Structure 1
């Protein structure tokens, strides 16, 4: 299928075989904007984030490839740090889009230490002025069991995993926590929380769905039911808790990373795809599937998606044109 991009933004059309007769097509477009905090609006940026054909590593985490047809909601990602003007023991890093709000608690360095009664308790947080918001600061990491290394299944890059009390003493606690799941004892095992991207969201989504279904020991699903659950999971650049519902594209965005704050409105994106397959013509709208905020450079990367299917017939014209409509 021929593809014409009339937006001036990065865009790519992917196709894949569905069956003997049908082809699936999915379009991914990516726009990069400068955030003007004084005016509360976005301006086009000369910097351009491309569409990813393969996963991309950054110091804050790994973005997955865009080469997948299915996606739900809008991935929220922050690349950067929480900053405090004065040394603080804790602060919040939050991202709000419309009615959706997500907060991660940022805490200074702590360790498990013995109190006067000999019990393990968390030390007082060390005041900080900057804290990375990536997965190395979230709960997870590695520990040893019977002399063998054991990795946290969701976040092996993190910190805080303890397998027994004897080895827990002196272990660093995570700097990033979900406020609804604070760590109180060395035995606690919360879901890791951070703002960085993830390249494999399936294990996170499965964990969330299994919890929603109430499955557990003595209440395990059959293989067919579990496979059906797996099919409902879709690739994403964010963990499930950091995925907002589908956006209109004109929502208010508020980001607070410690004392650094941004408040602006999305400009009401109105992208569409005109598709021609032989004599058939149809239109597909795009949805906003990602808002990635680069705090150090104050850039917002917006990802759009659209998909459709068509029948493959030889010698027919097959073309798609991406363009923006007037607001």
Structure 2
């Protein structure tokens, strides 16, 4: 399905079961606007998405906003939120607040906080406390936890204060003429906001229908034949306009509902949204493609004058063939000024064809060439760094040579001392040349032990060892030592004689 929407409006739809295992779609188009003093509302910078019921506060049974997607409403819901503001920010204990849309108007009385305290014989109602602002919520209207009409309200719940006094908080929002009444005489809440479908005013409507065996057999999952669609009206009964009685350009006025303007006059935006569908019977490939309009009308107005915010919902209904709208290949949403005559459907059918052609051309176009990049310049090697590296290598080689010479000198001195120690004991000195470098005492002791072992096991070998080394032997030993020295120099691993001062391995 293609969805063409070049407006700030947010479209959506709700599939509804109908009798005879058929379906219908309730199409909704949501517009979000910013109220303007003494001029029509303008589209909001950020359009709001479609949403469901929104409570007044987390966990509250009362609603601040009612869901956007619902079945068609027989009448127009007028809904309001926000706060009451004392004129000029001067504290007051009571004042009226009024909302007017076109020729429709409603006024309520707002009072400061009061309480009814129970005495031994009589109860006492306190005077209202002065206030400068008061939230227009159901929690401030008549009701209580046990109330089926407003479980979020006040006036019925009994509390005990820190001094042990038994009291009841009294409602801040009442109808004109009810302000001076004993709260016990109140029978229903007064407010401007949406009524929850779980509250008696709406729930009783749903329960009046007959959900019997006949309904299950003949209509389910569609509602019963005697189901009253007034259930879908979220506004209080005195905040509904007859169907079609709201064009969309009416004046809207608020009294004592704006922080800076005691009288705030604006107007609806004066726009006409339109919604078209393109469909074809999916079971017949040769079936003609139909392009038709789903007529829309305003059925919900919601405003928060304290935030300069206005929301309008236009809704339309159309039978459909499937729950997934398989037969609908495109939905087009447009809008026009109310002051202009409606454009013919052919205008929008041509618009849909043109947009599809543009999209197809864009898809067929070759991908754009990759951006050209400037060649990366690699800096030449730093000559100063090369010089430092050569200097370091030369210094390292010099230090290794000095260390190698020191090791050889130490080794020769150690062997000479060991040979002298052996000679003083009458032992042959030739064995010193076959022992690893160590301290003289260790070399002498090890050589004596080796000589004793050789003498015991092989007298001829002992005789040979007692003779001084020949020149050929010394030459061979020199060659071996030279190879060892070369190996140590190449790998920078000088040989250190083991001992207490030797570096760790």
TM-score, with normalisation over the residues of structure 1? Answer: 0.78
Q: 2-side partners of 1:92 and 1:3: how far apart?
A: 46
How far does residue 182 in structure 1 lie from its aligned partner after superposition? 4.7
Cross-structure match for 1:42: 41
* Partner residue of 2:82 out of 80, 83, 86: 80
Once superposed, what is the RMSD of the aligned Cα atoms?
3.3
SS class of match (1:296) = helix
Cross-structure match for 2:192: 195
Residue 303 of structure 1 pairs with residue 313 of structure 2: yes
Cross-structure match for 2:278: 276
CA contact (8 A) 2:92 2:131 kept: yes
- Per residue, is there more strand in 1 or in 2? 1
Residue 96 of structure 1 pairs with residue 94 of structure 2: no
How far does residue 248 in structure 1 lie from its aligned partner after superposition? 1.3
Larger Cα-atom Rg: 2
User: Relative to structure 1, is the Cα distance of residues 316 and 77 closer, same or farther in structure 2, using a 3 angstrom cutoff?
Assistant: closer
User: Relative to structure 1, is the Cα distance of residues 266 and 222 closer, same or farther in structure 2, using a 3 angstrom cutoff?
Assistant: closer
Segment drifting more, 187-196 vs 90-99:
187-196
Q: 1-side partners of 2:226 and 2:132: how far apart?
A: 43
Segment drifting more, 153-162 vs 267-276:
267-276
How far does residue 90 in structure 1 lie from its aligned partner after superposition? 0.9
For structure 1, the residue ranges without an aligned partner over 5 or more in a row are 143-150, 211-220
What does 1:1-327 align with in structure 2 at a 5 Å threshold?
Answer: 3-19=3-19, 22-37=22-37, 39-52=38-51, 54-59=52-57, 61-84=63-86, 85-113=89-117, 118-142=121-145, 151-161=146-156, 170-179=167-176, 181-182=178-179, 184-200=181-197, 203-205=200-202, 230-246=227-243, 247-257=246-256, 260-278=262-280, 279=288, 280-312=290-322, 316-326=327-337, 327=340
Q: 1-side partners of 2:252 and 2:209: how far apart?
A: 42
CA contact (8 A) 2:196 2:202 kept: no
How far does residue 185 in structure 1 lie from its aligned partner after superposition? 2.5
User: Relative to structure 1, is the Cα distance of residues 325 and 222 closer, same or farther in structure 2, using a 3 angstrom cutoff?
Assistant: closer
Q: Any idea what the Cα deviations from partners look like across 1:221-253, whole Å, max 9, x if unmatched?
A: 9969xx776523232442222333341112111
CA contact (8 A) 1:120 1:169 kept: no
Q: 2-side partners of 1:222 and 1:311: how far apart?
A: 27
Segment drifting more, 106-115 vs 227-236:
227-236
Q: 2-side partners of 1:194 and 1:303: how far apart?
A: 21
How far does residue 312 in structure 1 lie from its aligned partner after superposition? 4.9
Q: 1-side partners of 2:187 and 2:303: how far apart?
A: 25
- Per residue, is there more helix in 1 or in 2? 2
TM-score, with normalisation over the residues of structure 2? Answer: 0.53
